[in-house]
Amino acid sequence: MTTETTGVADAAGLRHEIYSYSGEAQFLTGVLSFIDDALAADEVVLVSVPKDRERMLRDELTGPDPSVVFMDTSALGRNPARLIPAWQRWISERAGEGRPVRGIGETDWNGRGTAEIEELRYHEWLLNLAFTGSPAWWLLCPYDTGTVDPEIIRGVSRCHPFALGDGGHRQVPGFVQEPFVWDDLEPACDPFEEFSYTRGDLAAVRDKVVACVTPYGLEGDRLRETLVAVTEVAGNSIAHGGGRGTLRTWVRQGTLVCEFRDEGVMSDPMIGRRAPDARSLHGRGMWLVHQLCDLVQIRSTPETGTIIRLHIALPRP
């Protein structure tokens, strides 16, 4: 079924739409039509795409247009958990100007590992939840079928209630916001170090991490940031995870992984992905962890307890 939606005002909350394309020409055809429709409806377009795609779009647009805003997400790093609060901030700023907003968000898939890909898929699923009840806006997510694995595209397609293709916008038949189904975590890299901790052991947790990274040259501010993150997660285990936990550390392909396990349960899927309220001292811990680490994986169920993996890129030799 093709819908004739032409403006953001026709949506409620987030209209989350996937665009599967093949090659540069098809990318330009779909994305430029999306931009043209937005400008015709007097809407602002926020564009966050890889640099090569940004150059293509700038070349095709007829001069600078204040209604088309290009956003550089490189400062956010490769942790997908930083994207939702960034979109929320951008949407809030533009909504304050009184104009409807569209977004175009494409991920750079070059060099993405298994853990990052899984977190990106979760990010796409969380977008629908994060913007429930928000001001209406429309996000188009382009995926290049020539470079992105078909299995990845099938997975993220299930996170989008709408699709652009065949010359029009359509609802995805049978879309339901079902509970997210995780793939299994990658096995710990052998050999790994393991340490059980409880109250009074936070200094020992930090010492274990320092011992693990010292041979790899992690030092200075980046080491201090890492130690803040591991202290926060271990402290959460002690405060909310049964008073104790287990730390495992290993290095895989130039990345330090610190895995924490405890008996607690995190029931909020958005934990660490909301910008903390400036007036409150609560809700800052996992937010800070996401800002300090290159990737954070959280798995938490009543049956298994909580597993949190912190990924920190090590200095290149």
Domains and CATH numbers, the chain: 2-171 (3.40.50.300), 193-313 (3.30.565.10)
Looking at residue 76, what is its pLDDT? 85
For range 155-172, the mean pLDDT = 90
Q: How far are the Cα atoms of 31, 43, 165, 304 from residue 297, in angstroms, in the given order?
A: 32, 36, 33, 15
| Averaged pLDDT score across all residues of the chain | 91
E-assigned strands of the chain? 2-3, 14-21, 44-48, 68-70, 101-105, 137-144, 162-165, 168-171, 193-198, 244-252, 255-262, 295-301, 305-313
Average pLDDT over residues 221-238: 97
46 confidence band (pLDDT: 50, 70, 90) = very high
Structure tokens at 307: 């597993």
Q: Which two tokens stand for residue 137?
A: 């806006």
Q: Is the pLDDT of residue 99 over 70?
A: yes
Average pLDDT rounded to a whole number, residues 128-152: 92
What is the arithmetic mean of pLDDT over 98-127? Answer: 92
Tokens 């052991």, residue?
Answer: 201
Amino acid 225: pLDDT: 98
Alpha-carbon distances of 237 from 31, 245, 259, 316, rounded to whole Å = 45, 6, 12, 32
Please state, as a whole number, how many other Cβ atoms lie within 10 Å of the Cβ of residue 229: 24
Which 3 state secondary structure label does DSSP give 82?
helix
Least confident of 3-12, 65-74, 245-254, 287-296: 3-12
Mean pLDDT of 42-47: 94
pLDDT at 177: 82
pLDDT at position 9 over 80: no
Q: Above 70 in pLDDT, residue 285?
A: yes
pLDDT of residue 97: 75
For 27, 33, 300, 308, the CA distances from 115, given in Å and listed in that order, are 27, 34, 16, 12
Looking at per-residue pLDDT, the higher value among 195 and 282 belongs to 195
Model confidence at 96: pLDDT above 70: no
Residue 231 half-sphere exposure toward CB, CA atoms < 13 A: 14
What is the pLDDT, as a whole number, of residue 4? 46
What are the φ and ψ backbone dihedral angles of 177, each rounded to 5 degrees? -80, 80
| Residue 160 Cα distances to 9, 175, 181, 282, angstroms | 19, 8, 15, 32
> What is d(CA 205, CA 224) in angstroms, rounded to the nearest whole number?
13
Residues 115, 186 contacting (CB under 8 angstroms): yes
Distances (CA, A) of 202 to 1, 28, 250, 252, 263: 57, 53, 19, 24, 18
Q: What is the DSSP string of 167-206?
A: TEEEEPTT---PPP-PPPPPPPPSS-EEEEEETT-HHHHH
Residue 280: the pLDDT is 67
Angle, helices 23-40 vs 51-60, to 10°: value is 60
Confidence at residue 53, expressed as pLDDT on a 0 to 100 scale:
95
Q: How confident is the model at residue 24 (pLDDT cuts 50, 70, 90)?
A: very high
- What's the pLDDT tens digit per position in 168-216? 899 988 788 888 989 999 999 888 999 999 999 999 999 999 999 999 9
pLDDT at 12: 61
The tokens for 45 are 């377009």
